[in-house]
Structure 1
Amino acid sequence: MRKSAVLFAAVIAAAGLTGAPASATASADVPGLAITQVGYNAYGSDTVWNRNQEFVDVRNTGADAVNVAGLVVADQWAKSHVDDNDRNCNTLKVTSLAGIVTGTDGSVMLPVGHTVRVYSGRGVPAVSAGGSVHALYMNSLCGYHGHIWGNGGDTAWITKGSDSESFAYDFDNGYTVKP
């Protein structure tokens, strides 16, 4: 019996079933940055007025500040329609952040531990949580009333140059999901 239990635990660990919940998978390929949360299911019916309840958090998890100028945040649809997405639906490209001085070379250095929160809706770029969360807005007019994150599942992507990272999720009876 004991040998069977040890073998079963080893199989489970080798299959990677002990980490993240089965409803989410992440790949980490953008140095210093990680998708840390997706708000995919706004409270109530999806309307143009509650689309800012949907968001993606990208955090600097590295040991140094990271240049986020040119960072692209997108959903799976936008990632798979790069060549035929003339309206830039479901996509935001970082060019500046509230509370961060843009360098003369166009750099936007996100400090260690800071988060870029990209909302689907409309708003004015801002900084909150003691200056560590920098809000940006897609102003999405695409999707259902501007709601771009699939309630039943989707994949959030961040891309910086040739580096990409994704976070896939399925509906988990909640409003937000973390890797």
Structure 2
Amino acid sequence: MIAVHRTATGSRTGRPAAAEPSEGSLLLDDQLCFALYAASRAVTARYRPLLDELGLTYPQYLVMLVLWEQDSISVRDLGTALQLESSTLSPLLKRLEANGLLRRERRVEDERSVALRLTEAGAQLRERAGRVPLAIGDAMGLTPEQDALAKELLRLITTNVTN
């Protein structure tokens, strides 16, 4: 693995990454949080042109992924799946509804609960979106084993820091 490190003059150079950063290091390149942040920004930027073609933002795409997997879901369950608060979801859902991709309906069994359902247009968008994961996977350049390991480690980090 090659990591970018700063030289004494502050310029960045590629050199083999150390097996472990020194404990308590305050070097930027030793921070896992920065590696996660940089990777997240880079991946999200790679999604942007693909999602622009679909008329979706990245958070809207995540909502649609859940709905394509499960056509009827409560707002609460969607928030749980995406690890988002309803205050963050509400504007997203309003825009998706205004764009004709989903509809919100009060549940008959519990009028306090709102169910989300795909519209015909929302269901049809799934076919066009099918190329997005393939393009992102190609851009990442990971083997299937590396992809599975990366997801496993990121899920473990998420679990560990939220408990």
Q: For the superposition of Structure 1 and Structure 2, which TM-score range results when normalised by the shorter chain? A: under 0.3
* Larger Rg, first or second structure (1 or 2): 2
Q: Which has the higher helix share?
A: 2
TM-score (norm 2): 0.24
Larger relative contact order (Cα-Cα within 8 Å, sequence gap ≥ 6) = 1
Q: Which has the higher strand share?
A: 1
